[in-house]
Structure 1
């Protein structure tokens, strides 16, 4: 099987979600972060995801930026930094300009050179995705930024995955969907996409009715998948 359309989750897949905390920890203004930035980054990401799931099942949708702020506030309190307003502002500013993982630009360029369609499908708002893709220097390699803003519900609701076929006029069989979230890749398998889970941190597989078709450690072999 060959694919015409390659669709990527954004945060944790193309963009390094730990980059904001790591960068702030390197700055002289925030010495308190140097020893705990990894914990803060993990708390932030975990709560960000949990809040999307809870809002999806309770029909309480909101902009992903609000969820990102809420997750950070929880993480700052959990690490004893809730009163550090300067750090909060700096971390949120940095989140608009997350770095792409090193292999991402070359991968997307390869896919485009081969004539494939490429897109992001993300919980992120259009404004966030546009800023991140431009900042990371990959916007010109993407045919579409597909945001849950369009349907008003977060992943893994099927209406989110529907956006791919609606935009490209393709079938599920034409799509390779790639995510660093095991639950996202698994649910996309259940939806009908061929999927690749980029398991950068060697996590156990999620116990779901569906499994990703491919499990990778980074994105370099994506063009070889069938």
Structure 2
């Protein structure tokens, strides 16, 4: 699949993610699951300067997670999914187990890869070791500028998932201090300077204003709502126009 064509020219649309940590993984998993049943063709491209696909900066240590395994499934409709993965991986895990952070990073990476394989051939996943520097909303999509690239990448949508804005300033602002997070509607569309929800710009996870302390279950449930928003307003609307 080629995501280099301009939005609206009939090519397979590209949904870009800024950041490759847990928030991006949960949202990409939700999107791939929501759209595959509809046989919508598109490409997910995760831009992350470290080439991550779910393993955030805090998911490398042996330190234990703050929540037990029963709450941390990537699938809200399959609460035992993490337990099943752990047992298949040969790990001792009960619903009350507090897993090491690096193990949860392994889980998110494996689950994202497995979901992308399941979603083929309709959807495809690519991770590029680049950082989103800025983005510009256009009539039919978003021009995504990556660090060091001479030209912008055209996408149908951009999801900002760069984590805690106090630790990493997000690549988009909404007229207020970006270190306080990006203003969004309840489903995750960015609120533009005119106070209206953007059609092609979204955010998920702690980067959203007021969501810095969100736990994985909160982010996962929001990712589900966001996935259906992108499905309905970006991907399905495009398919109906073809």
TM-score, normalised to structure 1, is 0.32
Question: Which has more helix, going by share of residues?
Answer: 1
Structure with the higher strand share, 1 or 2: 2
